Amino acid sequence: MTSRGGLGSVTPRLELRGISKSYPGTIANKNVELSVMPGELHALLGENGAGKSTLVKIIYGVVAADEGEIRWEGRPIAVHDPASARRLGIGMVFQHFTLFETLTVTENIALGLEKERDIRRLARRIEETATKYGLALDPSRYVHDLSVGERQRVEVVRCLMQEPKLLIMDEPTSVLTPQEVERLFDVLRRLAAEGCSILYISHKLGEIMALCQRATVLRQGAVTAQCDPRRETSASLARMMVGSEVLAVKRPGEHKEGDEALTVTDLVLEPDDPFGTRLDHVSLNVRKGEILGIAGVAGNGQTELLRALAGETLAPRSDTIRIEGANAGHLGPAGRRARGLAFVPEERLGRGAVAELSLADNALLTAYLGGNVAAGMVQSGAVRDFASAIVKSYNVVCAGIDAEARSLSGGNMQKFIIGREILQQPRVLIAAHPTWGVDVGAALTIHEALIRLRDAGAAVLVVSEDLDELFEICDRIAVMSKGRISEPKRVGETDIDEIGLLMGGLFEDKQQAVSHAAD
């Protein structure tokens, strides 16, 4: 990759002048001014719905601005589509991978390169690029055989093969171990040193402060601040994003835990998905009055475990899963909810809520007990009161309880789903990725709600890839890797580095010997 200039250049690599974009009833971007210099690591910050996604889609040619001008290396341009963005030298690594699992690494990368037709030559180029930047990658492997960290490398190498002058990174570390994050940062710093501009989007303020040289903050679609994040604190950056002081969540104090509320004993399950993960002799317990966190890189059995716990997949034996001592392994979701279990799925729309239904109707989806349905008839008044209570208690920003679920931002939809489950006063709550992609204010609301539920005596199981989140709210943390689960560790007796090593499978040799002996 050739040198692309340095930070001393006076002409911005990218400059946005007066960019505005509106949708019916919503102003996504309002007169946005932004410049990114050659070789600069530039952060784009903001709450959910602040306009970050719309802005980078405009830069990358996915949507067109209503007003304003984009200048590229000093000259005005029009970016009609992603292909024209790539021809200019703009690459983007999306938060959700855009890879085909049944194709090889080489075949996936070939799809993003317009001129490369020789697959063998391309494979050699992939190896050369991956080696140059310390991104170990086998071009012949199929994507479904890769870990999530390896898939992230494919996305990055695919962009690097296009020799970008500007690389946009959207929440790139949300599925990586701490060790993989450091390796990615090394690559980004090296790219910046060679002159590549990096536009970096993340809700993890510690990352922004460690990596970036400048930050632009959006609030309600407009630029409200610019700063050097290396000279700021997490609190000051959060204040810029939210517009007011953001108080840190109060860590749950030590207390005596109660009896076991959720128990899993030697759970073995083959996946329904051909690319899924086999659950290999998984055992765990969650006590009343505690939050147990399960860490792990995505794709290591968390999805399969969550479905087994929620009752979507039945266990081989009824006594494999017990709720408050009663066998539940053969109960479906409704049977487990009747026993006091509530569930927050990882997918907000589709599994957590129906996009086309109103908030009131979505409240009823899981809260059909407790007076909302009587003698087989929906009690409309009770349902509307319940939906209104969720909106009020969890500060859900919406047009009212008759608004469709799809009209809410991701953070507000997540607050509504969390509130719907917690206001049913469950004895056991399972929450999958409760603050995935939500801003600092929404995350604070959700964390406080989980801790209050724990303090009320409920058992809470949180599955998350965000280690900062787990250390902030959990009493104990276990790790999933390749379908196995580690022994839980008390938060005060471990640290992020140790959990990160466990996420990489450090405990597997010992666990493997145990599982083989059991087989």
Q: For position 221, which CATH number holds?
A: 3.40.50.300
Residue 107 shares a structural domain with residue 206: yes
Q: Kindly indicate the confidence band of residue 84, based on its pLDDT and cuts at 50, 70 and 90.
A: very high
- C-alpha 273/C-alpha 275 separation (Å) is 5
In a domain, 446, yes or no: no
Within this chain, do residues 151 and 234 fall inside the same structural domain, yes or no?
yes
Task: Say yes or no: 237 and 279 in one domain.
Answer: no
Q: Give the pLDDT score at 1.
A: 45
Do 333 and 346 belong together in one domain? no
For the ranges 133-137, 261-265, 394-398, which has the lowest average pLDDT? 133-137
Q: What is the mean pLDDT of residues 38-54?
A: 89
Q: Are residues 121 and 264 in the same domain?
A: no
451: in domain: no
Please give the pLDDT value at position 513.
43
The number of CA neighbours under 13 Å toward the Cβ of 70 is 20
More confident position, 278 or 114:
278
- Tell whether 258 and 315 lie within a shared domain: yes
Please identify, among 242, 257, 292, the residue that sits at the C-terminal boundary of a domain. 242
pLDDT tens for each residue of 235-262: 899 889 877 665 556 666 666 678 999 9
Residue 452 lies in a domain: no
pLDDT at 8: 47
**Count of domains in the chain?**
3
Shared domain check, 266 and 151? no
Mean confidence (pLDDT) of the chain: 87
Contacts of 80-86 with CB under 8 Å at 24 or more apart are 83/114, 85/59, 85/60, 85/61, 86/112, 86/162, 86/164
Distance CA 72, CA 78 (A): 9
Q: State residue 65's pLDDT score.
A: 95
Residue 2's pLDDT is: 41
Claim to verify: residue 392 and residue 499 sit in the same structural domain: no
Assigned domain for 1 exists: no
Chosen domain end from 242, 260, 282: 242
Specify whether the CB–CB gap between 143 and 104 falls below 8 A: yes
pLDDT of residue 316: 93
pLDDT band, very low/low/confident/very high, at 6 (cuts 50, 70, 90): very low
Residue 319 lies in domain: 249-339+461-519
**Of 207, 242, 277, the domain-final residue:** 242
Mean pLDDT of the 86-105 span: 87
Same domain? For 152 and 222 the reply is yes
Q: Do residues 268 and 402 share a domain?
A: no
Residue 303: inside a domain, yes or no? yes
Report residue 118's pLDDT band, with 50, 70 and 90 as the boundaries.
Answer: confident
